[in-house]
A and B are shown apart, each in its own frame.
Chain A
Amino acid sequence: MIWSVGDELNDVNRTIGPVDMVAYAGATWDWHRLHHDHGYAVSIGLDRPVVDGQALAAYLSSQAIDSLGPGAFIRKMEIRYRSPVFSGETIRCVGRVVAIEPQRIDLEQQVLVADRVAATSRSVVSFQV
Chain B
Amino acid sequence: MPSLDPQNEFRLLTAELLTAVGREATYEAPEELGRAAIRYFALAIGDTSPRYTDPRAAKAEGFDDVVAPPTLVCETNQYMTGAPDGDGYIGHGWNLEVPGTRLIRAGNEYEFFRPVYPMDRLSVHWRLEEMTEKISKTGTAMLFVISVATYRNQDGDVLARNRETVIYQELES
Q: Which residues of A contact B (CB under 8 A)?
A: 14, 20, 23-24, 26-34, 37, 40, 53-55, 57-59, 61-62, 65-66, 70-71, 73-81, 129
What is the CA–CA distance of A40 and B62 in the complex, to the nearest angstrom?
Answer: 45
B interface residues, tally (CB under 8 Å): 40
How far apart are A41's CB and chain B's nearest CB, in angstroms? 12
Instruction: Check if A66 sits within 8 Å of B89, measured CB to CB.
Output: no
Per-residue CB proximity of B44-78 to A under 8 Å, as 1/0? 11110100000000001111000001111011111
Instruction: Check if A57 sits within 8 Å of B41, measured CB to CB.
Output: no
Residues in A neighbouring B106, C-beta threshold 8 A: 80-81
Is B150 in contact with chain A by the CB < 8 A criterion?
no
Q: A66-B47, A73-B115 are in contact. Are A61 and B89 (CB under 8 A)?
A: no
Instruction: Check if B78 sits within 8 Å of A29, measured CB to CB.
Output: yes
Instruction: Check if B61 sits within 8 Å of A29, measured CB to CB.
Output: no
Residues in B neighbouring A28, C-beta threshold 8 A: 41, 44, 72, 75-77
What is the CA–CA distance of A59 and B69 in the complex, to the nearest angstrom?
Answer: 10
Interface of B is mostly: loop
Residues in B neighbouring A54, C-beta threshold 8 A: 71, 74-75, 105, 108
Q: A29-B90, A33-B87, A34-B87 are in contact. Are A74 and B112 (CB under 8 A)?
A: yes
Instruction: Check if A31 sits within 8 Å of B90, measured CB to CB.
Output: yes
- 9 A-B pairs with CB atoms under 8 Å apart are A28-B76, A29-B91, A54-B71, A57-B108, A58-B41, A76-B110, A78-B107, A78-B110, A81-B105
What is the CA–CA distance of A34 and B103 in the complex, to the nearest angstrom?
Answer: 12
